[in-house]
């Protein structure tokens, strides 16, 4: 729960700031379009520092790095609140992004080393809650703080959370020592940083219109070329920064590819729901955010049931069946229209949240089920890097598909049926991930949770 709260703090901050951009632009006397730097520089710093998190955890000890990251994130939050210009705010957001990139993967390393194998699924079910509700709760919370107080409070609320987090970490989390191992893979850091930054920032810029689309595509191309360069480098290096040989572990490799396909399909749902509720239904941002939050509430329910369900049906059957259900619920949300009763919308979104919570709890536990403890930091870095990349790709891909569908249908503005088509295609990707999970053995994850007798 301590590690989950750190993740929650980062996700809330990353999403709540979106609602405050107009007020920031007015206070700083800047054009609204330039305020995209507040978002894009955070993403850029996070992309650059995710690959080095595993090496830092091994070298200096995961608890020391985790505490340092929380302190740095909290201090950067104060700097953001005190910023008097866009330049000052942008520099503080760079530091925030770097600290957030170190905080989450290193927290996972601590969890993997501390939790026993048979308790890993339960631990991961707690950790997925902030990942599900943070992006959904962020926008309405940001809107509430901006409306009642000021945009500075979006950052200041991190101070008590950060102080409490440091105290809890030092009191309850073991201090695993660092090990003087291999030196930092500088060429790998450069190539992986350029690759991840180009792909993440390019996809975000393309999806949210942060820059002209030709420039965004150039960034994506640069990221793709750098990523290919890193793969070639990793094959020749004895100790690469990101160990791609982990993909040879059957459970890690299958859940890696299946989970990425699942996230590409499902991560754009909050983005599409905001468009549907605000542009098609005419709801204000706070109303749309509160309605979308229902999906995150389902995560709490599934936390109590995930272990029992996987114990009853096993990892393979749970992942396959849940992939199909995720695709169906995504397609169902695309069928909402102005005449749909609110209780139906709430029910479908709640069920969708329950299903996604089960899927990602199951994936999180199975991903690390067969990873040796000495490789846990490398596995966490690789997983965190892929999650950040696929979630950004999901939004960019959804925005591109929506624009293409609108152009083909001759629509100047978004209508409900345009969103429905994108939701259906996203659901199809989730269903396709079931084909990847078919490669799992029936006994996959048996060391993580014991199956109950029928």
Same domain, 397 and 292: yes
Per-residue pLDDT tens, the chain, 454 aa: give them: 677 667 777 767 766 676 666 677 777 776 655 566 676 677 677 767 777 777 777 777 777 888 888 889 889 989 988 887 877 888 888 888 888 877 776 776 667 666 665 666 666 666 666 665 665 666 666 667 766 777 778 788 888 888 887 888 788 777 766 666 667 777 777 887 788 777 777 766 666 566 677 877 888 888 888 888 888 887 777 777 777 777 888 888 888 888 888 888 887 777 677 677 777 777 765 666 666 666 666 666 666 676 678 778 888 888 888 889 988 988 888 888 888 888 888 888 888 878 887 887 788 777 777 777 667 667 777 777 777 677 767 776 777 788 778 888 887 777 888 888 888 898 898 899 889 888 888 777 666 665 444 4
pLDDT, position 451: 46
End-to-end CA distance of the chain: 32
Domain presence at residue 226? no
Residue 127 lies in a domain: yes
End residue of a domain, out of 156, 176, 196: 176
Q: Is residue 182 part of a domain?
A: no
Tell me, yes or no, whether 199 lies in a domain.
no
Does 258 lie in the same domain as 148? no
Question: Is the domain of 139 the same as that of 255?
Answer: no
SS (H, E, C) the chain: CHHHHHHHHHHHHHHHHHHHHHHHHHHHCCCHHHHHHHHHHHHHHHHHHHHHHHHHHHHHCHHHHHHHHHHHHHHHHHHHHHCCCHHHHHHHHHHHHHHHHHHHHHHHHHHHHHCCHHHHHHHHHHHHHHHHHHHHHHHHHHHHHHHHCCCHHHHHCHHHHHHHHHHHHHHHCCCCCCCCCCCCCHHHHHHHHHHHHHHHHHHHHHHHCCCCHHHHHHHHHHHHHHHHHHHHHHHHCCCCCCCHHHHHCHHHHHHHHHHHHHHHHHCCHHHHHHHHHHHHCCCCHHHHHHHHHHHHHHHHHHHHHHHHHHHHHHHHHHHHHHHHHHHHHHHHHCCCCCCCCHHHHHHHHHHHHHHHHHHHHHHHHHHCCCCCHHHHHHHHHHHHHHHHHHHHHHHHHHHHHHHHHHHHHCCCCCCHHHHHHHHHHHHHHHHHHHHHHCCCCCCCCCCCCCCCCC
Positive or negative: CA dihedral 438, 443, 449, 454: positive
Q: What are the phi and psi torsion angles at 184 (to 5°)?
A: -65, 135
- Same-domain check for residues 160 and 254: no
Tell me: do 252 and 125 sit in the same domain.
Answer: no
In a domain, 86, yes or no: yes
Domain shared by 151 and 265, yes or no: no
Residue 258 falls within a domain, yes or no? yes
**What pLDDT, on a 0 to 100 scale, did the predictor assign at position 330?**
87
Based on the fold, state whether residues 265 and 140 are members of the same structural domain: no
**Nearest one of 152, 154, 139 to 284, comparing CA atoms:** 139
CB 418 within 8 A of CB 410: no
203 falls within a domain = no
* Pair 160, 249 in one domain: no
Q: What is the pLDDT of residue 336?
A: 83
| pTM summary value | 0.69
Number of folded domains in the chain?
Answer: 2
Are 447 and 117 in contact by the 8 Å Cβ rule? The answer is yes
Q: In terms of domains, do 162 and 288 share one?
A: no
Q: What is the pLDDT of residue 256?
A: 86
Structural domain contains residue 95: yes
CATH number at residue 79: 1.20.1250.20
d(CA 53, CA 363): 21
Domain that holds residue 267: 245-447
Q: Same domain for 438 and 322? A: yes
């Amino acid at each position: 729960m301590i590690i989950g709260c750190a993740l929650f703090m980062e996700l809330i901050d990353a999403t709540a700031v979106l609602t405050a951009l107009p007020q920031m632009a007015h206070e700083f006397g800047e054009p609204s379009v330039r305020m995209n730097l507040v978002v894009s520089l955070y993403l850029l710093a996070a992309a650059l520092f995710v690959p080095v998190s595993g090496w830092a955890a091994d070298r200096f000890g995961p608890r020391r790095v985790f505490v340092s990251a929380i302190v740095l994130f909290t201090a950067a939050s104060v700097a953001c609140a005190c910023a008097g210009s866009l330049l000052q705010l942008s520099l503080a957001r760079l530091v925030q992004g770097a600290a957030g990139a170190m905080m989450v993967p290193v927290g996972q390393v601590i969890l993997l080393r501390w939790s026993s194998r048979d308790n890993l699924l339960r631990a991961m079910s707690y950790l997925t809650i902030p990942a599900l509700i943070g992006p959904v709760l962020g926008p309405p919370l940001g809107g509430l703080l901006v409306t009642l107080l000021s945009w500075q409070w979006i950052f200041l609320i991190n101070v008590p959370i950060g102080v409490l987090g440091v105290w809890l970490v030092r009191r309850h989390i073991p201090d695993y020592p660092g090990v003087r191992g291999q030196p930092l893979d500088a060429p790998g850091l450069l190539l992986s940083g350029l690759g991840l930054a180009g792909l993440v920032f390019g996809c975000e810029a393309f999806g949210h219109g942060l820059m002209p689309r030709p420039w965004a595509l150039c960034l994506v191309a640069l990221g793709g070329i750098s990523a290919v360069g890193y793969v070639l480098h990793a094959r020749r290096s004895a100790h690469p920064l990101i160990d791609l040989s982990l993909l040879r572990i059957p459970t890690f490799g299958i859940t890696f590819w299946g989970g990425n396909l699942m996230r590409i399909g499902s991560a754009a749902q909050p983005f599409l729901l905001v468009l549907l509720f605000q542009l098609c239904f005419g709801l204000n941002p706070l109303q749309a955010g509160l309605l979308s939050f229902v999906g995150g509430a389902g995560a709490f329910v599934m936390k109590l049931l995930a272990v029992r369900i996987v114990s009853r049906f096993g990892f393979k059957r749970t992942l396959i069946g849940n992939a199909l259900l995720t695709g169906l619920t995504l397609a169902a949300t695309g069928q909402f229209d102005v005449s749909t009763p609110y209780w139906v919308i709430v029910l479908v979104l709640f069920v969708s949240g329950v299903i996604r919570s089960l899927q990602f709890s199951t994936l999180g536990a199975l991903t690390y089920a067969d990873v040796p403890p000495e490789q846990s930091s490398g596995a966490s870095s690789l997983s965190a890097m892929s999650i950040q990349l696929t979630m950004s790709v999901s939004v960019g891909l959804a925005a591109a598909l929506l624009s293409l569908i609108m152009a083909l249908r001759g629509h100047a503005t978004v209508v409900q049926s345009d969103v429905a088509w994108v939701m259906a295609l996203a659901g199809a990707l989730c269903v396709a991930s079931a084909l990847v999970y078919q490669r799992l053995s029936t006994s996959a994850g048996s060391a993580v949770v014991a199956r109950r007798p029928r």
